[in-house]
Structure 1
């Protein structure tokens, strides 16, 4: 069984204490609006805490709890307006039979449309009256003002812009001139309060996730929408994000502001103004890591619904409630609490292996739950691979986990271990004998470079079991997949690291722009194949798969790959495709790929199986029609 890397309402780390505390704060809010921040590194468990808060409100009819993920809507519309539409739509859907909810919602949607028109017609009016396209309009129309300025005859003409401006003349004269932004903001807030009253909602709780994965503009627009439009009585907003990434977004969005205001940075002041109550998820300590690793290993051995696993969860909870008094999760406690002999044995095995590896996993991952889970997944999957290939009996988890500690947390030493094993006739490493016996003195006597982590190697050598008398060839064989993933083999760790980064967020991918630009054609093709395999292996195309952002940047820098990407897009089943698949046309600069993508847009636009896809394709197709 694979341990899924998704948010969960099942609590292994006693995060329910944070979720419960936040719920109590919301319950005591007395109708006052509130913003709460759940801060932590990526993979710290922020999304899981949101899932627990959502679960706590499922049976409360007076509280409406909504989730919003700005990352899913990035790139298509103004993030502020998307959030407003999402909140109003969900309130209306949940309370459509109450009072004048539909009437109030209709009025609010009209105000949102006014804001859209004010933004668009302000730009088009300038074009219509002056004959000169504004930079903002150019960006909106073709998604690439730079490309238009360089090739204006290929992208837009003055006549095209005038035609675009013509339908908005009435709106410019009748709507925009009869109102203004301050008036609309005030009216929106007032009507939003009235909507909540009509909907008979005691409290609206909006859970905002993955904001730290968004680009700075989207991040700031989402936060501003909360404070400027939705921050009214009976509302609460819980924002799960790494505060360092939010601060980065502030600095990028407001580059000309002073670095500091008083004793703190401007970015920090901005964040503190938006978020009233911050919760910081701490990195896992020694006890938390031990209990977490024990439970993850036990999930692979015990049925989640078994008495043994339930008891183990309770013992783990008791151990991390007061971690400063020492670890209470012991073999003796397991023997006393679990009655079934088989389950008792499996729980003991999980605990003993966790005790062996958790100290170094804790140090190597900095106590990050997601990275710990990935280590355990990789450990168990490699054991399964060995069994499938017929040498499972030669692989024990305690030896494999020790080898993997070196592979993951000290790659230089892991390379040296490979060299030693390669030079051995029986797979046993005599150099490890000195290390295991003499510790630091053994490192000095060996051929190891002391700069690759003498203290770490000494700690690793002391771990059970000792490896000097064990044939390590099958273990290194099963761990040598480090450079081969998704069917692609990389010749260097640098390429492997780059490939992994291109599976990440937009900010992470954007940071590799210059590296990608310097790739050879062969390297780019291999990297593209890796990302394409990662995307197709995902299986779920409703949400944007990891790897698409990386592909977008890769084909921009290496145009020869654009036709391959179009061919990939053609293979997706239309029925379950999300709107993410519709890309700006200026992404395809290679003529053959550009025509291929236009044909694909037409196909998506005209089909009737997937209305969302059809809508996105039609909007994009309108922007390029006639070019």
Structure 2
């Protein structure tokens, strides 16, 4: 069994208790005044930001509030990403306006047709900017004088019309949104900013101010706060920065920060406990203690771990007789090392005795020296995990550390079934 990592599709699929927090937020969005408004959904990689926003999207649509969803990580070039953002919003609006125009009364048809015509002109204006790579010199929605001089000779009559429309972009967009949302608001969900390249992530944030900053919009942005703050800081200060400028940038842009509530580990266990397919681990307290210590309640990491463990168990079945519980717990612990502490996992491959030495050091409460000390320093948290799965721990029945032969067999299996994912790579969606 391989577990997918897709976000839930809406409120009906909520397994982790997001709906209560989402309803409070959506009620606030529906009542908000003085738009536009920007909301940040903050949380580490894998903690369910996309699922939380899908719950919000479903609740808002049930209240007839218009929404658009945009995934910027699909686009890497700066000029490509701001254009994709604008065109995604305009395409969604155009599709809905056209459908409502065809089914409405004559007066409604005329009003929506005018709005649809404005949408098409806005789309042409964005395409014109992309063709001339003119987004860079924009300030508050206007072309800089130097850019106007540079392209003036090339402007034809239609080009002049387009240029004039570019300078009215924010005003026209505001009117379109007002018609589209029937005097209400448009909620734009922007997901996975922390999966983008640093330049792309900041380009998305700048585009909200440059092009869409006057409409009756609520922008809901999902991100790992630290990742995006560091990207913004590098933009201002280069590589050498303490991150303060990046935090100030986000604080100015984000009107309301919502730090995603943690998922109770019990809810994650209830959702996934029957996804561990090997009967030797059915109901194993030790396995779920290992999972909780290694991955807390991070749904993405736990799913990845369960997938890897199921795959390893099936592979071990093909190697010999059905593996015993202790062998599978050893495989699970090694898999946790591989995912969380790839340097330690690599050290075990070359020196299997590391596990025993670390276990002894934890039991005797002593420091590690030499290469082991350096390994512990470079893998903070690994000693805590080894202590959690120690056979000396009371209240649980963990096996003794595996022999070098068992470690070599299991690391060979795990190396084939999946490589390590670093914390930085995970945050970028690797």
- Find the counterpart in structure 2 of residue 459 from structure 1: 388
Cα distance change of structure 1 residues 33 and 121 upon mapping to structure 2, 3 Å threshold: closer
Q: Is 2:253 the partner of 1:277?
A: no
How many Å separate the matches in 2 of 1:8 and 1:27? 22
Counterpart among 15, 18, 23 of residue 15 in structure 1: 18
Alpha-carbon deviations, 1:254-291, whole Å to 9, x = none?
A: 3379979xxx922212111211111123566xxx2344
- Find the counterpart in structure 2 of residue 115 from structure 1: 129
Cα distance change of structure 1 residues 75 and 418 upon mapping to structure 2, 3 Å threshold: closer
Q: Is 2:36 the partner of 1:105?
A: no
- Find the counterpart in structure 2 of residue 229 from structure 1: 211
Q: Post-superposition shift, 1:246?
A: 1.7
How many Å separate the matches in 1 of 2:195 and 2:26? 25
Whether the aligned pair in 2 keeps the contact of 1:37 and 1:279 (CA below 8 Å) is yes
State the secondary structure of the residue aligned to 1:230: coil
Q: Post-superposition shift, 1:67?
A: 0.9
- Indicate the structure whose relative CO is greater, using CA pairs within 8 Å and at least 6 residues apart: 2
Cα distance change of structure 1 residues 170 and 13 upon mapping to structure 2, 3 Å threshold: same
How many Å separate the matches in 2 of 1:26 and 1:179? 34
Cα distance change of structure 1 residues 237 and 120 upon mapping to structure 2, 3 Å threshold: closer
Q: Post-superposition shift, 1:14?
A: 1.7
Counterpart among 367, 372, 376 of residue 306 in structure 2: 376
State the secondary structure of the residue aligned to 1:38: strand
Q: What count of residue pairs does the alignment treat as equivalent?
A: 390
State the secondary structure of the residue aligned to 2:38: strand
How many Å separate the matches in 2 of 1:483 and 1:14? 36
How many Å separate the matches in 1 of 2:408 and 2:136? 64
Greater Rg by CA: 1
Q: Post-superposition shift, 1:228?
A: 2.8
Q: Is 2:90 the partner of 1:73?
A: no
> TM-score, normalised to structure 2's length?
0.72
Whether the aligned pair in 2 keeps the contact of 1:440 and 1:454 (CA below 8 Å) is no
How many Å separate the matches in 2 of 1:255 and 1:176? 38
Whether the aligned pair in 1 keeps the contact of 2:65 and 2:181 (CA below 8 Å) is no
How many Å separate the matches in 1 of 2:69 and 2:186? 11
- Find the counterpart in structure 2 of residue 265 from structure 1: 244
Cα distance change of structure 1 residues 180 and 449 upon mapping to structure 2, 3 Å threshold: closer
Q: Is 2:409 the partner of 1:477?
A: yes
How many Å separate the matches in 2 of 1:406 and 1:443? 21
Q: Post-superposition shift, 1:7?
A: 1.8
Q: Post-superposition shift, 1:373?
A: 2.0
Cα distance change of structure 1 residues 220 and 394 upon mapping to structure 2, 3 Å threshold: closer
Counterpart among 195, 201, 206 of residue 188 in structure 2: 206
How many Å separate the matches in 1 of 2:401 and 2:132? 76
Q: Post-superposition shift, 1:121?
A: 12
Cα distance change of structure 1 residues 34 and 385 upon mapping to structure 2, 3 Å threshold: same
> TM-score, normalised to structure 1's length?
0.52
Q: Post-superposition shift, 1:37?
A: 0.5
How many Å separate the matches in 2 of 1:259 and 1:466? 45
Whether the aligned pair in 2 keeps the contact of 1:39 and 1:240 (CA below 8 Å) is yes
How many Å separate the matches in 2 of 1:416 and 1:274? 46
- Find the counterpart in structure 2 of residue 93 from structure 1: 95
Q: Post-superposition shift, 1:204?
A: 1.3
- Find the counterpart in structure 1 of residue 35 from structure 2: 32
